[in-house]
Structures are given as structure tokens and as C-alpha cells.
Amino acid sequence: MQTVRVALAQIAPKLGDLESNLDLHNDAIRLARREKARVVVFPELSLTGYVLRDQVQDVALTLRDPRFKKLLRASKDADLIVGFVEEAEGHRFHNATAYLSKGRVVHVHRKLYLPTYGMFDEGRDFAAGDVIRAFKTAHGPAGMLICEDAWHPATAWILVQDGAEVLFTLSSGPTRGAKPGRGITSIPIWHELLRTTAQFQTSFVVYVNRVGYEDGLNFGGGSIAIDPFGRTLASLPSLTAGVAVAELDHEVLRRARSAYPLLRDENLELVHREVSRIRQARFQLPDPSPRRRIR
Amino acid sequence: MNRRLQVFRSSPPREPDLAIDVAATLQILEGFIKTEVSRTGLNRVVLVLSGGIDSALAAYLAVRALGRSGVVGVLMPYRTSSASSVADAESVVGALGIVAERFEISELVDVFAAKAGAIGPRRLGNVMARVRMLVLYDRSVEHDALVLGTSNKTELLLGYGTIHGDLASALNPLGDLYKTQVRELSQALSIPKAILAKPPSADLWPEQTDESDLGVTYDEVDRILALLVDARVSPGTIVAKGFRRETVLRVQRLIMRSQFKRRMPLIAKVSTRSIGWDFRYPRDWKT
């Protein structure tokens, strides 16, 4: 990768209002450009808001939608990572994020794990993605995750095995109260998870969480950029909208991957073999190599 | 025995955990009031000032969120309401410097009661709560204001409130705070001492107190609720933690029996897209 300045745009989107959210994106992009950022990262569902429910179909965009074109135009000055509802083939509606650069869509990630428990009901409203890939950007290989995806450690692991050096994580994370000594409890929990991910995967992690209120839920913010040693490069306060810029230094990545050669020593073959064995037993699949079965 | 080996005692998380971070919680609640009021296009709230701690805290939060010009307090005593309730409500008005109105409900309630016949203290209490709602919603139109609710989580869970009466509101900043947490925030905001010190009462008849109505103290019931509701601990385990079985079971029964007060009325489904089941939009629809 090359050293790159990344802006974390911690915004409060307007629920179900694409037009005003496009304006909000443009404001943040202008601010980020002034801070010399080359990539601007927005939160999960940044173009639509989170508690959409039956509005999902109303705010969904295909990648050819003219409203998407506005963002593509803006991506000529800086790369953009935005959250939106993607209407995909077969009229499947995905909670998705797109990496836009130089007027084109470089990569789309569809949220893999849709939380459908407690206060969450995404499984009712969205189709789950079933592909996870790293992709190349002008600044280096990267991967994207959306909120709950990051709580399944295999996702980050696969992205890094696939070449990613920066993991962008977009979130609309509602808070669950505040405790003495810890503040808003969800934020340190997220930071621990992200720091551990950065260290386990010796990668940069850029986390952007939204703020604002929807139907009584409040979104915590606390966006943060972490280097592969687990150090904080930039962060935003909780509950407050704003933009922060982090410089991801390729030299630091190289040093981290030299000091902790976890990626070098990863045993893909071992993981593949054991996962295949577990999968075979779990789903009662025929044994592909009975003679080589390990007893 | 190896003398160099030492045993380290650990302290696992203690349940129930009612402690809250006051500063962060206040920030959330202020932001909630401010955002939710402004997204309706208004900039003001109206609320009952009963002289109790819940409405006092709600008023303090609203002033922090909207400024004193954004809050209208309404005092609605009945002729049997205690004089100290009115004085305590006035102390909130004075301390915050907000606009306040006084609307005596005695006449309205008494006219109704005379027509309704012998309705007893319980029904009379409900009538008072609903007359206050009537006045409050009318005043909200006059002031271009939203009705701010003041029911706390303890009351909501136990069903200790009048449906379409004091439970009615547009926004409720206190609905996820137990009474003990309401007290903690109120102390932090330096709400008048007399309000903090007195026993909580619905003041529907003289000498009434919440704790005698409920048959349990707020301290105890809040700890039971935090276990039962927030942590989803089984009643058996709660009893094993030292709470009286009879109280735990009664609390569980009160929660279940009052579920109707926390939900919209049931609608009989006879179409493909029924409100509540299939027709589901956020209340903050496109705002």
C-alpha cells in the first residue's frame, strides 16, 4: 500500500431522505478534502439512515441510479466509501457499502451477517450477502465490513488472507447505556474488538460509526483509526458529529508485519483442512478423500 | 505446599447493576429531546409539573436541551392535592425560570365524578390523570409544543400509571430509567432538596405513597426488575440471590398483567398489510 490520508465522516443521516443525505455527504467530502484526505469513509447506511423497516424498497438504489452518479462525480476528487441500500439482481435488497473512485464503482460489499435479535430486525428487511473479497484501490489493497460482520472474526481473517492491508468497518451501532468509569458501554467494547482485529490481522482498521437518534435509539459514534500495532491514529468523540483524518503510513504496516509475522506464518492449508472436516461432519457431506482420513 | 504460590481472588461482575454514567446519560437524554423535538418542526415541550421527582427531572433535562424558552410547565392540582406538591412544583419553575401555568382540575373532575356516581378513589385517580392529559394536550396546541412524558421504567414495567392518562405523551426521556436512576440523575442536576427527600407519591389522595401502593420499596423492586428484565435472570435465581420469593413473583405478575399499557391496542388482522404486523415504519419516518 501507499501512505494515504483517510477521513472518518461521523455523520447523522436523515432517516429515509436520500436527497438531504447526499448534501450531507457533499459537505463532509468538502471538509475532508480541505484536510487533504484522499479517502472519505461514511458509516453504514449513510445515504438512508438505519431504522428503515418498510422504507427499504423506497430508498434502494441500483448502481446505475442517477442519484448514485452524483456521488460518482464527487469520487473524482477523493475516494468514497458510502453505505446504502443496494437493489441487486432478483430485487434483492442489501445493506451494502460501495468503494467509489475516479467516477466508478471499484467494489461493493453486501453485509453478510444481518443482526436479527434484541433491538435488531435486519433479517426481516434485507437479503444477506454471501461473498467477501479484498479489492485493489489506488492506495493499496483493502477490504470492507459492515457492523455485525466485524463480530465474526473469520471475515477480517479472510480479507487479509485475500490481500487486504486496510479494513474499513462501517457501522450504525446503537448504544445500550452508559456505566460509571466506562462511559457509553458499546464504544470501548467496539474499540477493543477493532484493536484486537488490527493486531491479529496486522492491518490498519478504520471504523466509522454514525451518530444521531432514530425512534429513541441513539447511535454512539466513537469512530477510530487504528494501526497494525493497535495504536490509535485518529478518533472522534461519542455522540457528536464530525470529521477526523488519519494518515495510514505504509512504512508502519511493513514494520508491523516484520515485527509480528503472523500473516507470514498463517497456515491456510491447516485451516482449510480442519474447516472442511468440520463442515463435512456438520452437514453430513460425503467424505471427499476417505483413504486420507486422519484418525 | 509451594509457599510461593498465591491465590488471587477475583470479583466477577455484580448483578443487578443499576449504576449509570451520569454525564454520558445526560448527554444522550438531552440530545434525544433536542433531536426528536426539532425533527417534528417544533422547538418546545409542555409537561405536567406534579411536584414529584420524575417531572422535575424531565423539566431540568428539557431546559438543558431546549433552553428555558423551550419548556412550558403546567401545574394541575386537585383540591385534595397536598400543598407541598404545589410548592415543590413552583420551586422547579423558580429554579429553572420557565413559563408555567396553573390549571385547577377540581371543577372538571368533580363535575365528572358527580355524573359518574360513586366511583371510588381508584377510578377518581384515573379521572384526574386523564383530565390532566386532556389539559396538557390542549395546552400543547396553544404553545406549539410536544407533550413530554415523565413515566419512568419502574412505573412502566409495573403498570403503575393510568393508560391514556399520565402514560400519554409524545416523547418520554425517562422511560428507560429506573426510579433509583432517576434519583441519581436528579441529585446530579441539583433538583430542589425537598423534592429529592420526600417519598414518591401519585398524590391522588392524601397520604398516598407509591411504595405503600406497590408493597415494595423502589430500591428493592428496581434491583429485581434489573435482574428480571435487563439481565433476564430466572425468578428462581433471583430468589437465590436473597430476594423474597413472594415479591419476585408478584413483580413478574405485575409486568405481565400490564403489558397492554405498553402497547397500542390490538388490531384484528383481515388484510394483507395490517398496521403493526406488516405495515412497519419508524415513527421518525423521513425526518
Cβ of B24 within 8 Å of Cβ of A184? The answer is yes
Residue A40 belongs to domain spanning: 4-259
- Return the pLDDT at B53: 98
What is the rounded CA–CA span in Å between residue A18 and residue A49? Answer: 9
Contact A212, A13 (CB under 8 A): yes
Average pLDDT, integer, range B87-98: 98
Nearest to B31 among A16, A179, A213 (CB): A213
Of A80-84, B204-208, B243-247, least confident by mean pLDDT is B204-208
* Domain presence at residue A82: yes
ipTM > 0.95, yes or no: no
- Return the pLDDT at B2: 67
Q: Which residues from chain A sit within 8 angstroms of residue B25, using beta carbons?
A: 177-178
* Domain presence at residue A55: yes
Q: Would an 8 Å CB–CB cutoff place B280 in contact with chain A?
A: yes
- Give B112-134 pLDDT, tens digit per residue: 999 999 899 999 999 999 999 99
- Give B265-285 pLDDT, tens digit per residue: 999 999 999 999 999 999 999
Q: Would an 8 Å CB–CB cutoff place B36 in contact with chain A?
A: yes
Which strand (E) or helix (H) includes residue B14?
Answer: none
Contacts made by residues B268-272, CB under 8 angstroms, sequence distance 24+ = none
Cβ of A218 within 8 Å of Cβ of B28? The answer is yes
- Give B176-210 pLDDT, tens digit per residue: 999 999 999 999 999 999 999 999 998 888 888 99
Nearest to B282 among A51, A177, A178 (CB): A51
CA distance B126 to chain A (A): 28
* Domain presence at residue A201: yes
What is the rounded CA–CA span in Å between residue A14 and residue B140? Answer: 26
* Domain presence at residue A231: yes
Q: Which residues from chain A sit within 8 angstroms of residue B170, using beta carbons?
A: none
Q: Which residues from chain B sit within 8 angstroms of residue A16, using beta carbons?
A: 282, 285-286
Q: Would an 8 Å CB–CB cutoff place A53 in contact with chain B?
A: yes
State the pLDDT confidence band at A96, using cuts at 50, 70 and 90: very high
Average pLDDT, integer, range A20-31: 97
Give yes or no for residue A295 having a pLDDT over 60: no
Q: Which residues from chain B sit within 8 angstroms of residue A189, using beta carbons?
A: none
Please write down the HEC assignment for all residues of A260-291.
Answer: CCHHHHCCHHHHHHHHHHHHHHHCCCCCCCHH
What is the rounded CA–CA span in Å between residue A219 and residue A40? Answer: 20
* Domain presence at residue A18: yes
> What whole-number percentage of chain A has pLDDT above 70?
97
Q: Would an 8 Å CB–CB cutoff place A14 in contact with chain B?
A: yes
Contacts made by residues B198-202, CB under 8 angstroms, sequence distance 24+ = B198/B84, B198/B88, B200/B52, B200/B53, B201/B52, B201/B82, B202/B125
Contacts made by residues B185-191, CB under 8 angstroms, sequence distance 24+ = B185/B20, B185/B22, B185/B25, B185/B26, B185/B57, B186/B53, B186/B56, B186/B57, B186/B60, B188/B22, B188/B26, B189/B26, B189/B57, B189/B60, B189/B61, B191/B53, B191/B56, B191/B57, B191/B60, B191/B92, B191/B95
The tally of domains found in chain A comes to 1
Q: Which residues from chain B sit within 8 angstroms of residue A239, using beta carbons?
A: 24, 27-28, 31
**What CATH topology corresponds to B22-209?**
Rossmann fold (3.40.50)
Identify the CATH number of the domain in which residue A239 sits. 3.60.110.10
Give yes or no for residue A45 having a pLDDT over 60: yes
What is the rounded CA–CA span in Å between residue B190 and residue B177? Answer: 18
- Return the pLDDT at B27: 97
